[in-house]
């Protein structure tokens, strides 16, 4: 069973950058699409970005041009580079497969962007 641990969140000013990491243990995620999701207070969890095994990526319109998802199969780790952060990016960020596997949700990592 895969365990996913997200890290790298924090408090940053608008316009700043953060790099999130998602480390998988227990099983390799190689070959399976991986994604970052986020959930803001009072809102539903939403897809932010996904990466397929061949390396193709998909982004939510709200983050296109600002966020970059990447993966390192050797390290079983997925990253989310977030640039030009906005207050509306404030949320708890999670990684999971795409589509998500319900029992694989981790604790997430909090990202707070101040204006």
Per residue in 23-57, pLDDT (tens digit) is 998 776 667 899 999 999 999 999 999 999 888 99
115-to-31, 52, 88 alpha-carbon distances in Å: 39, 34, 10
In this prediction, residue 29 carries a pLDDT of 67
> Is residue 1 very low, low, confident or very high in pLDDT (cuts 50, 70, 90)?
confident
- The beta strand positions in 1-115, using DSSP E, are 3-7, 10-13, 18-25, 34-39, 46-51, 57-59, 67-72, 77-82, 91-97, 109-114
The mean pLDDT of the chain is 94
CA distance 61 to 55: 19
Nearest to 60 by CA among 45, 47, 70, 79: 47
Q: Judge contact between 22 and 65, C-beta under 8 A.
A: no
Contacts of 103 (CB under 8 A, 6+ apart): 1
Nearest to 33 by CA among 46, 54, 52: 52
In this prediction, residue 2 carries a pLDDT of 83
Percent of the chain's residues with pLDDT above 90: 80
- Confidence check: pLDDT of 109 > 80: yes
- Confidence check: pLDDT of 88 > 80: yes
**Across residues 59-75, what is the average pLDDT?**
95
């Amino acid at each position: 069973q895969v365990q996913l641990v997200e890290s790298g969140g924090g408090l940053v000013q608008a316009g700043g950058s953060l790099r999130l990491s998602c480390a998988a243990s227990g099983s390799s995620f190689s070959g399976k699409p991986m994604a970052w999701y986020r959930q803001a207070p009072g809102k539903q969890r939403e897809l932010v970005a996904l990466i397929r095994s061949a390396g193709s990526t998909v982004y939510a319109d709200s983050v296109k041009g600002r966020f970059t998802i990447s993966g390192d199969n050797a390290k079983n780790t997925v990253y989310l580079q977030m640039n030009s952060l906005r207050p509306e990016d404030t949320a708890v960020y999670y990684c999971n497969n795409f589509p998500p596997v319900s029992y694989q949700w981790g604790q997430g990592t909090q990202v707070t962007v101040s204006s």
